[in-house]
Every structure is written in C-alpha cells, then in structure tokens.
Structure 1
Amino acid sequence: MPAVRTYDPRVSPFDEAGATGLTRLYGGLGQRWRPSSLQRKVAVDSTGQYITIREELFEQPIRAPYKAPIQLYYAERLRNNEFKLWQSALAKSLSPGAEARTGRGGLDVDIPVPIKSRAFAQIFGGSSVGLNVQGDIQIDGGFRKENRTEQRTAFNYGSNTNFKMTQKQRFTVTGRIGEKVTVNVDQDSERAFDFENNIKLNYTGFEDDILKKVEAGNIALSLPGTRYVTFGGGNAGLFGLKSEMQLGNLFVTAIASQEKGESKKLSASGGAQAKDYNVRDLNYMRDTYFFLHREYRENFRYYSEKWRHLAVPTGRQIRRLEVYVTGRLDDPKNIPGDAYREALLDAEGNVLVLDERERVSGSFRKLVPEQDYRYEPTLGYIRLTQRAQEGEALAVAYETNDGEIHGDINFVTGRPFRLKLLRERTTLPAPRDLDDTWHLEWKNVYDLGSRNIPEEGLDIRVYFQPGSAGTPEETLILPGGGQISYLNIFGLDETNVNGERRPDNQIDLDGFVVNRGAGELTFPFLRPFDARDSVFVFDQASQSFQVFKNPLPLDKQVTAMYDTASYSEQQRLTKFIIEVKSQNKTSTYQLGFNVIEGSEEVSLRGNRLVRDTDYVIDYFSGTLTVTNPEANKPDAQLEITYQNNQLFQLEKKSILGSRAEFRINKDSFIGGTLLYLSERSLEQRVRLSGGEDRGPMKNLVWDFNTRLQFQPNFLSRALDALPIIATQQASTLNLEGEIAQIIPNPNALNNKETGDPNGVAYVDDFE
C-alpha cells in the first residue's frame, strides 16, 4: 500500500500549511484557516516512480488527480526545504528576539510554588515543573435508543441502545521537570503511520549520580566498542527504555525495546554505486511497447546474419502516425469515436475493412510525439513514455509509404472517427485468438532497474529457479554431459568481446539487446521463455533464412505470461530470474523514503564522515549527497548504513540486553555484551522453503572484548641503545581482542502434539 500524507490544497504539496509571510516575525498575522475537511493527498504508486496528488472536500474529489514523476517531487521538495531554511535564517537575523516576544502559544503548565518534597527534588533534581502544551483534542459522541413495540428481531430484542464515540487528537508537549527530566511529545492520531509520532522522555543525572541517563520512548542504541556485536551506525529505530549508569570506572548500558526500523547498507567504490537488481520472467515492461499491426510483429522475427532486425519493405514503412488514448468525455480537445481491431480506410475516410471483434468506444486524446511516445517507422512499433494505465485504451491512425491507411488519419469534423485498436481498456483473462490485440504488446523487454548504466561493471545473468525454493542454475546440462548457459539459450550471448561469433558467457552489450541509456533488456525472441518460439536468421552462404529455434527444453519453459493475463497464475508458474549488477558514477544516493533521522553512518575508507560537512541528507525523500571530493577518487571505498521506518511491520521484534565496560584509562577497557533478540511473525505456519517470511526466532548473543594500550619505556631505551637510532616519541603497545558467540533459535514455533521442542516447519501444509 502506498504511503499517503495529507496537505492543505491551498499551499504547495511540498510545503506545510502555515502563516503567510515570515512566520517567526508575524506569528498571528495572515494565518491561513485550514478546515479539516479540505485535504490534499500525495500518494506514491506501487512502482515507486510516480506520485499522484488528489484534492478532496469531505473525502470527495474536487479536482482531477495530478500525476508527476517522483524525481520532480524530490527536486521540488529540496527546493522548498532550502527556501524554508532561508526564511528561518532571515527571520532570526532581522529580529533575534521576535520569537521570544511572540511567545510559544498554547497552554503553559507552570507550578509557581515549589514542590516541597525531598524525594521529588532528589529524583528530578529540583522542585520546579514547567510544561508547554499545544494542540487540540476532539471528541465526538452520539447516543441512539430505539424502542420497538410491534416487532421483534431474530434475538427478540424489543429495544436497542447504542453509544458511539470517536476521538481525534493532535498535540505537542515540551518542558522540564526539575533539572534532570526533559519532555518532548508529538502526537497526531490522523497521521498515516505510527512512526510519525514521537515520545521522548530524557533523564540526565548529575555528575556524582550513579544513574547517568535514562531515555524512554523513541531511543537509539550504539555499541562503538564492539566489532562483532554491532548495529552499524547505531540502531535509531527503537521504542522502549534505555539507561546508562556509572560506578567508578564501570560503565553499564541496559536496554529493553521494540525495533521499529529496518537496517540497510549501501556500498560504492570510486564514486560508483554498486547495485544488484533481480527481475522475474513474468515482470516484463507491461503496456509500454506495441506493434502497430500483426505484419510488423511477424517481420520482427527476421534477422540479418549479424543478428540485426530487418526493416520491412519500403512500401510498408510508416509515413505518418497519430497515437490516441481514451480520455475524459468532458474535455473539448478530445474526439469521440470508436477503435477497432482493424480499421482500413481510403483517403476520403470510407471504410474498406472494419473488424468489430474488438471495439472500444469513447473520447480519444491525441498524444504528443517525442513527449508521450516515439516510434520506429522501419519496424512498425511504438514505445510509450509512460505505460498505459488500467482502464485506458490505446489506438492509432497511420499511413504507410504505399498509401495504405489504418485509422482516420485524415479525420474531418462531421464524419465518424475510426481508429485501429492496439490495447483494450481491460485485458481479458486469456487472448481469444491469434489476431487479438493482446499479441501486439511486447512481452520480451525487461527493466534493468536504472538508467544511463555505464558499460563498466555491468553484468547480466539469467538463472533457472522454479518457485522460491531450490538453488538458481546458470547453465543447462545437455544430454551428452556438456553445458550451455541460459544467456546463450536465449540468444543474449552470441559473440565475444572481439565481435566474433563465439559465446563467452558474457551478455552481448548490443545497442538493441541492452539499451544502457533507457535501462532495458530486449530478448531476440518475442516469447523468450516459450520453447516453441523461433526466429529466422539470414545465412550468407545459402542466401536463405535459417530457422533458429529456442533451445529451451519443454520441461523448463514458462508460457503463462504469454497466454493468460492472470497475474496470480503467472506468479505460480514463474521459473526464471534475470540478475543485474551495475555501478553508477554518482555523488547522490537514493536511500528510500522515511530514513530515520540520525540513523545514518557514512564512512570513507573506514573514516566516518560528518553530516552537513562531508555530506547532506534529506530524511523524508532519502536523498544523500556526498560533498567530500575524496569520495569520487578511483580508490575510494564508501559505505552507508542507515535505517528506514517500516510502513507496515508484520513481525514484532524485541531487543533486551546490557553492556558493561570497565575503563582502565582513556585508551584501555575491558567489556562484555549480552543481547537477546525475539521476533514474532503473524504466520502461524513456518514454511520450510523460507522466503521473506522467516518465521519466529529467538537469538542470544554474547561478546567479550578488550583493548589495552601501554607505553613500555624499555622498548624506547632498547632502541636508543642501538647505534645511529634515536627515538623521538614514546613507544606504544596496543593489544586488542574480541570473542563472540551467537546462540540461534531460528524457529521458535513448537507443537506439543509432535513432542519436538526444536521447532516445527510445514512442507506442502504437512508437518
């Protein structure tokens, strides 16, 4: 489900509702009135590539939705954040005391009379209490009572009494209790996700107190002294209780919490970001590429001896083309008409052939060439810039060089508007016949996960893996004992790096097979995973076309995505994985939405970088830009560890543990760590095949480590005693060691009926 956030429709979708002008200087002037029923919703689609903005009044749409690329959202969000920072800095520089004069607003809870309790003063470090509460709480209640005298329900109830109550709350609480406790609470029941709410209670002890610090609510845990028991940059996505104590030179940290975030890691070498991307055989680029006619589809199977597509005869090439999609009926720019499986017309628009087996009636909107689509006139296909949406029909009108007209490309107002249909509004569960428009859509192009991919570091492999179990296989064992890679089977590896007709187990970086600019992989076969498919390659010696059949064995073929539109059926029968490894030269890295603030750790050659000095980060959009020029050098090794808030946390993770460290001096310590991780799953049956649902588990890890540093003067004296050698600094001796053990229990789900306490798994629904 996409992330949704609500905005005031009278302001930019990238900004928060607030005052007009400089808010810090004019806190009460020109304040916008914001009725709760007037909302703007910004949603990210399932592909993560586009956002859709909708405006609603009383939960009813009042304007047409607006769709924009996610990169535009990033750019506008960054621009707006920079403006807000400039606005805040300008307000402070013009009137440093403005904020203090205007006051904080809200409800101030301040007890003027000191609390005369020695226990209270000792615990909280004082007798004063000061809290600032801002926000609103709305409670709606209703009462309904019904008396029935002439009728009875099935349960013989003659009367009914109901009481209904709903509550909405939005408030912040800030302040101090004594000198030791600070309070910071930000709650809003209307927020889309729970992680947007924050509760932070901090207790800071005095210098001579044993209890140094206690944190409750949203907390973070970092164990910098350990190497094997670590959370990377520190686990900031925790909710619970953490305490720090000191008794002499003994420092103790204890924690009890639930994990709300998800840890991730990203690596880059020499300014090139390494990226692994997997795509299943069923996930081709849907609703993007289309043949204009079945004759162009058939011609697409013919290749030259160098495996280049052969153009159609000159007379059959496209002279003029117009592309249409169904649009809104009330748009005056759209043209009412009908689209047919075949609509062959003459120059005056008279019908020569009209195939009504697939007919779509509606209001058609004309697309803009190069902006909405591009086409190849010699091969007879189009590529949409944005894939056709569900419920949207696609149709064309074109003329070939020999004067054949399909669709009303010479349309004149006043006569019927007829087009040639390429895609119906709704795809049927299965194609009806070979002439169905279903077959005009390309099903052999796959997205590589990024654009403008450099050739260096690009590696593409095809693996056979039925279902989610088993080990992926890169090669096929032949009956005679030989092997052949699936790259070669699918026609993706025909030549070596020198251009010779000799496979080298590396994908051919052909301009058509691999389009690195668009980030697309095109198989030579129109149905690449169908063993019955074939192409025709011209043989120079015989001056004829030779049939090149797909060598894939029948028992390994998968044809569901070619013969049915049922996605669940395609998922059930999937067998192949396309693995893409690439490296992109960049200084900007996308970490994903909702990065937990302060959870990131950026290191260059093992040295930690400083935020706002060596890099900048936008936590909402997850955009991190490295500004340190050393990161772009060829030998640079960059590592980024961070955490994202989980939109939907299906597993409940709990962390309990403690670390004790005895510090001998500032450079030496002896420490130990004990951590317990418990994870519960909603799935009550643990599958043996694993997958994303790992099932319940309970892990215990212990660690003992030490670092000792000495200054043995006898080493310096021994070196000074040698001829010609004279030491300039004191000698140091460093000793460092660590030992750790994890005691796992990967399946904590037991069944008393089996008598086995070591966990129970299910194979095909049987224990």
Structure 2
Amino acid sequence: MNRNKYLPGIVLFIGLAALSVKLFGNPNFPEHPYKYFFPDGKEHQEASPHTSYPSSQDTIPIEERYGDFLNNPNPNPFDLNDPPIIEHSVDYDPATGQYIISEHIGDDYFRPPTYMTSAEYMDYQAKKQEREYFNSLSGLGPAGSSTGRVDPIAKVDVKNQLIDRLFGGTEVDIRPQGNIDLTFGAEFSNVKNPSFTQRQQRQGGFNFDMAIQMNVQGSIGEKLKLSTNYNTQATFDFDNTMKLDYNTDAFGEDDIIKKIEAGNVSLPLRGTLIQGSQSLFGLKTEMQFGRLRLTAVASQQKSEQEEISLQGGSQVQTFEVFADEYDENRHFFLTQYNRDNYEPALKDLPQIKTLFTIQNIQVWVTDTRNATENIRDIVAIADLGETSRMTNTNPGFQPPAIPAFTDLNGKPLPDNNANPIYSALVQDRRTRTVDRAVNELKAPPFNFQQGRDFEKVSARQLSPTEFTYHPNLGFVSLNVNIQPDQVVGVAFEYSYKDSVYQVGEIAEDIPQNTDTTTQNVLFVKMLKSTTQPVDLPTWDLMMKNVYSIGAFNVSREDFKLDIFYDDPGEGKKRFLPETNLQGIPLLRIFNLDKLNVQNDPQPDGVFDFVEGVTINTRSGRIIFPVLEPFGKSLGSQFATPADSAKFTYSQLYDNTQFVAREFAEFNRFTIEGSYKSSVSSEISLGAFNIPPGSVRVTAGGQNLVEGVDYEVDYNIGRVKILNDAILNAGVPIKVSFEDNTLFGFQTKTMLGLRADYELNKHLTLGGTYLRLFERPYTQKVNIGDDPINNRIFGLDVNYSNDAPWLTNLVDKLPLYSTKEKSTITFSAETAALKPGHSKAINESTAGDKDKGGVVYLDDFEGSVSTIDLRTPFIGSNGWVIASVPQNDEQNNNPMFPESQRRDTTLPGVNRAYLGWFRIDPSLRGQGSDQGNPYTLPIRQQEIFPNFTPTQQFGDTYAQIFDVNYNPGQRGPYNFDVPGGTSFSAGLNSGGGIQ
C-alpha cells in the first residue's frame, strides 16, 4: 500500500531526468556563441556556403542562409522569411559598373553586401523570366505554388476559345469606385416616467447602419458590359440603376441573338399611337431572323405617361376647384361697412357704385421671421372704427345712436371717431406703453378680453409687393401665407366725397421711441386674431368667396370657366335639376354671367372677365361678386325652403373650413375651366429627373427632332423650342414624357413584343403588342385605384425613298431652280386598346359565376380606429379627471349644486380621491402582494371561460386597468376647508374619469 503511494512521484522524477539529458546532453553544442558562423575560429574569414552544422535533435534542420538573397535564396520552405525591418535592395554603381546587392536594417548592413557584374545580372534576369514563364504555363504562382496573390482589380486574362467567341474577347475588366461607411454602436435609455411600466422605461439596443455609395463599370470582352450605380441613401428608387448589356451587332450579321439587356431597360417605339417606355426594370431581348427583327421585353414599369398641350407657345392648363376650397386667411374686408356694401356696389357691373376710395393703407402681421426692419409693437383692436356689429360688450364703448359720419344712403362711415374706443385710448397714456397696454385694456374702464377684443403682438409691416387691395370695394389680399395663430392688423385712410377719414394709426404719425423701457405701441384695426371664433363679427371679415385656380399672369385669351353641380347618380350638370332654377346656367345664378364680351349688361353664357372684380389675373384667383355664393346668396333664389336646404352649403360659412368639410354631402359644386400661360419658348414639364429619351414633341401632329427643333433638360424637366417658326405658326404643340413615380403601392408589369419586317431598304412593316397590368395588395380596392389589365395592339408601315423626278419637275417651273435632294416619306399606323382589370378583384357568386371586378365606394370596416380603454396615459386618447356633474333644467341631478359656480373654487369641494393605473405584469403577485387579490395576475379564462389561448405554452393573462376610489380622501382640485387629506363629505363625495 505504501509503495503504491510513492509510485507516481518516482515515475515523474525519472521522466524529468530523461528530458534534461535529452535537452542539455548534446555533445555538439558549440562552446563559442558564433561557432556556427565561424567554424574555423577565424571570424575574419567568410564561411563556406556548403558548410552545415546539423542538429541531431531537429527533424527538419534550420540552416543559416549565406550569400545574398538573389543567388542563394533560402530553399527551406519551413524556415521563416526575413522580417519586414530588413530591406532588400539592388543598386547600380556607375563608377564601377557593378550591381550592389545589400540587406539593411535602418542605416546598418544586416549582411555584408555582394556584387554582380552587368553580364551576371543580365543572366540572372533572363533565368528569372524563363522560370516565371514556365511556372505560368504550369499554373503556378510567383512563389512556385498554385495559390498566388491575385489583385482583384487587375485585368484577368481568360484565354479560352469558347469565352472569346461568346464575349468577343477574353479580357475581364472590373472598375469599382465608391465608399462604404459602417456605423456600429449601442443606445440605451432609462426614462423614469411613472406612467410607463418598468419594461417601457428601459429602452435600447444596438445601432448598426451601413451606407454604401458604389459605382461599378465592368466588361467581359467587347460584347458584355456591366454598369451599376447603387446608393443606400438615395432619395428615390430610380436614383439606383443597374444594367447588364450583351450586344453582338458589331461582330457579325449571322448571330440570331443581337442584344440582351437586363436591369434598367427601355422600349422606344417610333409610332405616335403606341408609345414605348424609357423607365423599365426587367429583361429585354432583340433577335433577328433574316429580315425579321423581334424585340421582347418583360419588366416592371417605374414611370407614368404624362402629356402637356400648348397653342402658339402658350401652355393650356385645366383646373378644378371644389366649393370648400376657398382661399382661407388671405382676403379680408377692412370694416363691416365694406362687407355690407360689397354686393350693392357690384349690382350693376361693370360699374362699381361707391364713392369709397382708399388713399393710404398699411398692413401689419405677426413677425415670425425675426426681421429687423419695419417692426413695431401694435395693439390690434377689433372694434376700432366700427359702427355696427361690435365685438366688445362694454356699454360705454358702443357706437352712438346718431352716427358721426354717414354716406349718401345714411349708413354710418367707419372712422376712429365713429365710437368712443380710440378717444379713450389716446386719453389714457398708459395704454400707449408697451409693457402696460395689455393690463390697462383688461382693466376698467375698457374690460376688453385679449384674443377676442384686442391683440398685442410684435408685428411686421408688409411691403407693397406683399399685398394688394381694391381701393373702392375696401378689401385687402395678402400675398404671404398667414398661419392660424398670426394676427393681421390694418390702418388706412380713405376719402368719401370731399372728406378724408382714417381708421387706425399710420406708423409715420406715431414715431417709435428709442427708449426700450417706454416704447409706445401702435393702435390698428384687427382683421384676424390668434383665434378665429365663428360667432364673432371678425369671422365675417374674412372673405369666403375667393378661389385660387393655381395660375399666375392669366390672360383673357382662351380663358374658360364654368360651374358644375354633381347630381348624385346623374353626373355633373351646368344647372340645378328639379328646381325653379332648372333652366338657368349656374354662372348666371352666381352672378358671374351678367355681361357680354363688350361688357354690356347682357348675359352670353361666358364668364365675366372683369379684372380686380371677378378675377385677379396676377395671382390667378376667381372672385364671386356675392358674399356667400354657395350659402345665403344661392338659397335666396329658390322657391321652396326644401330646395334651399338641399342645395345650399351654409356650413361652409358658419363654421371653419375644417368643420365644414365634414358635411361632404353638400360639397357638390365645382369650378372648372382652362387657361393659357404666357407665350414662351421654354416649357416646364412639372417634373424632375425625367428618364432620358422619354420626351416626345409634336407640332401639328408632326414629330419634332430632339437637338434640332427642341432640346430637353432632363434633370429639371424643361423643354426649350429651338425652332421659332413652330411658335410663330400657332400650331398645337404636344409634349409627352414619362414621370418617374415617387410613391406607388401597386406594382405595374409590362410585357411587350415588337416586330419589324424589312421588305426592302425603303419599305418596313411593323407590329406591336403591349400588355400592362397591376397586382393589388388586397382584394379590397377603392374606386379609382382599381388595378388595370390593359392590352394594346398596333400595326404600322413606313416608306421612305429618294424622288429625283420631283426635283426635275420643280425645276421646270418658271423662275425657279433647285438642286436640292427630294424625298418621299409615308407612314401610317393603327392601334386598338383592350382595357381590363385584374382578376384579383373579381367576385364570384355561390354558383361560381364570375360577376366581374368589384371596387369599394367606401369601406366602413376599414375605417374603424380602435382606442384602448386600458391606456392610463394623459393625452388625446387617455383618461383625465372628470368634471363635476351639472344639474339640468328639470333638476334631475341636484347632488352637486356647486357645479354651477364655475367662476370660483367651489365646484371641487366634494371631489374625492380617484386614481387609475396599470401594474406591470412582471410585478403582479410578487413579494408581499402574493396573496393580494387586487394585484394577482388574472388569466383570461377566468373572465371568458370559452376563451382559447393563442399561445402554445403557458397561460394568457389579461391586461388589467385598475381604478382606486377612496370617498374619505380629498381629491384633486378640492379646496374645501379644513386642509389635510381627509374630509367628511360622506355620501355627497364623488370622483370620476373621462
């Protein structure tokens, strides 16, 4: 037993001893450290290159290399190469005519240099090249192995007869250019928001992104070309292009396959009835069988076909405006007087019956540009200068019973002295100070309400180019966009008969103080406040009878406008059916057709083009000569109240534009027409990045030549007519082009086949077949978005030949001689379209009878938006504290009489505590709450016994929304005394959420 205990130690000792003898018992180990390098003990002598000192312990002996690296390279493949710090160099010494072969470490020699004569060096180079040549024939690399280092950018020679025949050469050339940016990181956040669950409070993850911008040009031989441009940060899909082109046209006439293209391809066609496409992505093949040449394409279409028509260089544009699309917050009456006299003044067009003439006007808007010039602090007063329909309710600031100034009809004229407001403002100097104006106007004697009766803002005076005004009708039109929270104020002087009146203060009359602490404000008339209550008189100052048609500098020539009524189920009509106005055109009903072309009071069925009254040609806006064209003005002409309620759109004038659009059943009137833009040789296509070659221009049905008759800037989408004779001829010009679709949900697929048969060099027959179809994402599609499945067939013939006899015939005419070449060109084509739709929207009956395609006018099921009642967050879809229930007129709810005291803190005296929350599922039933039924997790089967869990493993727990109500604890906004958290309201307490 004891012997076996020490046996492992004895064996270990014997093994260590044997290893020591093996390692340190070599009798050939040199005593001198440089004995291997100088075996004779003579350090000055060069060691023989054939002397070796093998080690009997090494399986593969490692020997030192003697001589230079050219004549005596290391033959041992297991030996390591020289480290990079050792520099090898071969230098020519012109003094001795020899080559110096040296190895350096910095400025010191690693080995003694050796020398070669010129003849020896030439012999060395010849043997080296011969060795490399035979290695290349054997498939060996530079190092004598079959796996050498290959530059992926270098040209690769593939000397193969088959590849040479297929690709027209063996040279492979790939030229990439670009960059790749990698972003890798991590982003974590911990938001200590108690309304979030603990799991929602901790958010984060890894952030990995890669940006590639690469352009690759490649080729194999001369037949196959590759071109690609890829950018992961491209704005649109059409910015990334890829094309593989295989072309054999230049190599012979016997090849059947002439061209194969893949990627971004095009299908240009010569005809005018069937136009090809330049923006396709797919496969295109061209083949030739004798005189027949076939072109086939299968691709996805990435563009839409558009067309623009012009007449004499002027572009014809159409417009369609609905009744609810009036120009909002742009046009304002200056006072209620101007609004009330608007329709009477235009009763006898083209004469404007008024003596009201504006002499000077200044317009102010809230400064949102941080401008430094023409900036003033203004106080805009709603009732300044008004004589009727006052906004404020203060009895001391109402107009006098006997007006100070009246017109010829006895109506009071607007003026600063038309009511007591302006005189009171001037007498109280505190209202003029910028830091006290608001408080003084809110306090007695004014008792004005900010936002309703007045506004105090830092405003910018508009320049004369930023607004226009009608001097007689008294309205102003702004050329700048006004935001809903901006204030618009005005000050103006006008003349009536021989007197001049003023409303508001002109900036030059009230100089601005340089002292910043006592700056004075400017009192102006308020046209628009930060809020626009529809029940205030200022709401009516905004004109709702002006519509923009989207044109500028409209000319009267060829301008057309009409009004249509969309009769449900019957289409658009120019009259109102089944009413007493049935035989009257809508233009005449809306007072837009009272004159003829000579402006005589005789309707002619054409829109009355009266500058500044019915149309603003500079901004392209249509103005109705009535205040509420689709409201009271229309309703007053019906014979029965039923017709008035059916056709009028009164909600458009009694509510905001947003609310009025909810009554879509009354929005059935449209303003439609066309106009010509100004004559110009440049035509804007309204698109950018147009596919090159997709623009076609015809003049009078004749195709124009790009580069000769017109030129195209495809980047900005502009066509310039170079031939002035085309513009001067006045012939209709049509420009057709392809617009790359920026956004699309349906995939369009195009299949096409083009055949050209050349009977001879003068006569060619052609045929075309195209099919364009879409595949919808769902079987439910809205009307107008139904997927198409169209087919088009076409035939064409083209003949072109020289006609010298025509030249000879013309030469026989007297006084005429020509030597120009004459040609005869003839072309004819015909096409047929077979429209259809995708079978994916077909609907079948129980008997499998196909009923055809079905589209949805409205999908009420798809418009359902769910609101999770379990969400405790405060917000638009969350719960908030409920208001105190109010009593009704029948005294059905007398429990909370304090709810009527809204101007005090009494409504909340009986409010008890009520809290709502949702516990994180991971915290339910944890710790000391394991036995608490209010915090335990609840399985859905406990609530719905027939519920089947969708999870394969485990139970499905319900997400519980908890409400905690304590009638004895004081709730929020409860200011009852005494203080503390408890109160004794008893059964009269309450709380709620809504």
Shared fold (TM-score, shorter chain, > 0.5) = yes
1:341 aligns with 2:382: yes
For 1:285 and 1:640, how far apart are their aligned partners in 2?
32
Q: Displacement, 1:605?
A: 2.9
1:258 aligns with 2:356: no
Q: Displacement, 1:193?
A: 1.5
Asked if structure 1 preserves the Cα contact closer than 8 Å seen for 2:377 and 2:522, the reply is yes
Aligned to 1:48: none
Alignment of 1:109-148 (within 5 A): 110-142=153-185
Aligned to 1:365: 459
Residue aligned with 1:191, SS: coil
**Equivalent residue for 2:669, pick from 567, 576, 586:** 576
Aligned to 2:837: 745
Aligned to 1:653: 748
Go from structure 1 to structure 2 and tell me whether the alpha carbon gap of 1:249 and 1:628 turns closer, same or farther (over 3 Å shift). same
For 1:631 and 1:733, how far apart are their aligned partners in 2?
21
**Equivalent residue for 1:277, pick from 319, 330, 337:** 319
1:379 aligns with 2:473: yes
Equivalent position amino acid for 1:345 in 2: Y
Q: Displacement, 1:598?
A: 1.9
Equivalent position amino acid for 1:243 in 2: T
- Deviation per CA, 1:166-206: give whole Å up to 9, x if none: 11111212242221122222222222211222223222113
1:406 aligns with 2:504: yes
1:223 aligns with 2:325: no
1:630 aligns with 2:721: no
**Equivalent residue for 1:522, pick from 612, 620, 623:** 623
The size of the alignment, in residue pairs, is 613
- Tell me the TM-score normalized by structure 2: 0.55
Aligned to 2:490: 396
For 2:285 and 2:501, how far apart are their aligned partners in 1?
83
Go from structure 1 to structure 2 and tell me whether the alpha carbon gap of 1:169 and 1:309 turns closer, same or farther (over 3 Å shift). farther
Alignment of 1:56-95 (within 5 A): none
For 1:507 and 1:136, how far apart are their aligned partners in 2?
61
Q: Displacement, 1:697?
A: 2.4
Asked if structure 1 preserves the Cα contact closer than 8 Å seen for 2:775 and 2:838, the reply is no
Aligned to 1:421: 526
Which has the larger displacement, 570-579 or 390-399?
Answer: 390-399
5+ residue gaps in structure 1?
Answer: 1-107, 147-152, 537-546, 712-728
**Equivalent residue for 1:559, pick from 642, 647, 650:** 650
For 1:375 and 1:191, how far apart are their aligned partners in 2?
46
Q: Displacement, 1:675?
A: 2.4
Asked if structure 2 preserves the Cα contact closer than 8 Å seen for 1:340 and 1:358, the reply is no
Alignment of 1:6-405 (within 5 A): 110-142=153-185, 163-205=206-248, 206-208=251-253, 209-224=255-270, 228=273, 230-231=274-275, 234-303=276-345, 306-307=348-349, 310=352, 318=358, 320-328=360-368, 333=373, 334-343=375-384, 344-346=421-423, 348=426, 350=428, 355-356=448-449, 358-359=451-452, 363-399=457-493, 403-405=501-503
Which has the larger displacement, 601-610 or 589-598?
Answer: 601-610
Residue aligned with 1:633, SS: helix
Go from structure 1 to structure 2 and tell me whether the alpha carbon gap of 1:326 and 1:464 turns closer, same or farther (over 3 Å shift). same
For 1:636 and 1:517, how far apart are their aligned partners in 2?
27
Q: Displacement, 1:336?
A: 4.0
Asked if structure 1 preserves the Cα contact closer than 8 Å seen for 2:334 and 2:476, the reply is yes
For 2:371 and 2:581, how far apart are their aligned partners in 1?
65
Asked if structure 1 preserves the Cα contact closer than 8 Å seen for 2:634 and 2:648, the reply is no
Asked if structure 2 preserves the Cα contact closer than 8 Å seen for 1:474 and 1:486, the reply is yes
Go from structure 1 to structure 2 and tell me whether the alpha carbon gap of 1:306 and 1:683 turns closer, same or farther (over 3 Å shift). farther
Q: Displacement, 1:227?
A: 5.8
For 2:608 and 2:839, how far apart are their aligned partners in 1?
44
For 1:472 and 1:532, how far apart are their aligned partners in 2?
21
Aligned to 1:443: 544
For 1:550 and 1:581, how far apart are their aligned partners in 2?
35
Asked if structure 2 preserves the Cα contact closer than 8 Å seen for 1:173 and 1:185, the reply is yes
Q: Displacement, 1:123?
A: 2.9
**Equivalent residue for 1:494, pick from 594, 600, 611:** 594
Go from structure 1 to structure 2 and tell me whether the alpha carbon gap of 1:548 and 1:363 turns closer, same or farther (over 3 Å shift). farther
- Deviation per CA, 1:575-611: give whole Å up to 9, x if none: 1111122234332222112132221011223333233
Go from structure 1 to structure 2 and tell me whether the alpha carbon gap of 1:557 and 1:162 turns closer, same or farther (over 3 Å shift). same
**Equivalent residue for 1:433, pick from 526, 535, 554:** 535
Residue aligned with 1:483, SS: coil
Equivalent position amino acid for 1:658 in 2: L
Alignment of 1:667-682 (within 5 A): 667-682=762-777
Equivalent position amino acid for 2:451 in 1: E
Asked if structure 1 preserves the Cα contact closer than 8 Å seen for 2:490 and 2:526, the reply is yes
Go from structure 1 to structure 2 and tell me whether the alpha carbon gap of 1:751 and 1:444 turns closer, same or farther (over 3 Å shift). same
Go from structure 1 to structure 2 and tell me whether the alpha carbon gap of 1:139 and 1:420 turns closer, same or farther (over 3 Å shift). same
Calculate percent identity across the aligned residue pairs.
27
For 2:659 and 2:176, how far apart are their aligned partners in 1?
51
Go from structure 1 to structure 2 and tell me whether the alpha carbon gap of 1:732 and 1:144 turns closer, same or farther (over 3 Å shift). closer
Equivalent position amino acid for 2:534 in 1: R
Q: Displacement, 1:370?
A: 1.6
Asked if structure 2 preserves the Cα contact closer than 8 Å seen for 1:301 and 1:525, the reply is yes
Aligned to 2:441: none
Q: Displacement, 1:264?
A: 0.8
Q: Displacement, 1:744?
A: 2.3
- Tell me the TM-score normalized by structure 1: 0.71
Aligned to 1:453: 554
Go from structure 1 to structure 2 and tell me whether the alpha carbon gap of 1:698 and 1:566 turns closer, same or farther (over 3 Å shift). same
Equivalent position amino acid for 1:616 in 2: E
For 2:427 and 2:605, how far apart are their aligned partners in 1?
54
Residue aligned with 1:475, SS: coil
5+ residue gaps in structure 2?
Answer: 1-150, 190-195, 385-420, 432-444, 803-820, 862-994
Asked if structure 2 preserves the Cα contact closer than 8 Å seen for 1:329 and 1:363, the reply is no
For 2:156 and 2:512, how far apart are their aligned partners in 1?
88
Go from structure 1 to structure 2 and tell me whether the alpha carbon gap of 1:383 and 1:548 turns closer, same or farther (over 3 Å shift). farther
Go from structure 1 to structure 2 and tell me whether the alpha carbon gap of 1:241 and 1:482 turns closer, same or farther (over 3 Å shift). same
Equivalent position amino acid for 1:509 in 2: F
Does 1 or 2 have the higher relative contact order (CA < 8 Å, sep 6+)?
1
Aligned residues: CA RMSD: 4.1
1:590 aligns with 2:678: no
- Deviation per CA, 1:644-672: give whole Å up to 9, x if none: 11221232111012223332212334444
Residue aligned with 1:631, SS: helix
Equivalent position amino acid for 2:722 in 1: T
For 1:111 and 1:524, how far apart are their aligned partners in 2?
78
Q: Displacement, 1:121?
A: 2.8
Asked if structure 1 preserves the Cα contact closer than 8 Å seen for 2:212 and 2:232, the reply is yes
Aligned to 1:66: none
Q: Displacement, 1:259?
A: 1.0
Go from structure 1 to structure 2 and tell me whether the alpha carbon gap of 1:730 and 1:177 turns closer, same or farther (over 3 Å shift). closer
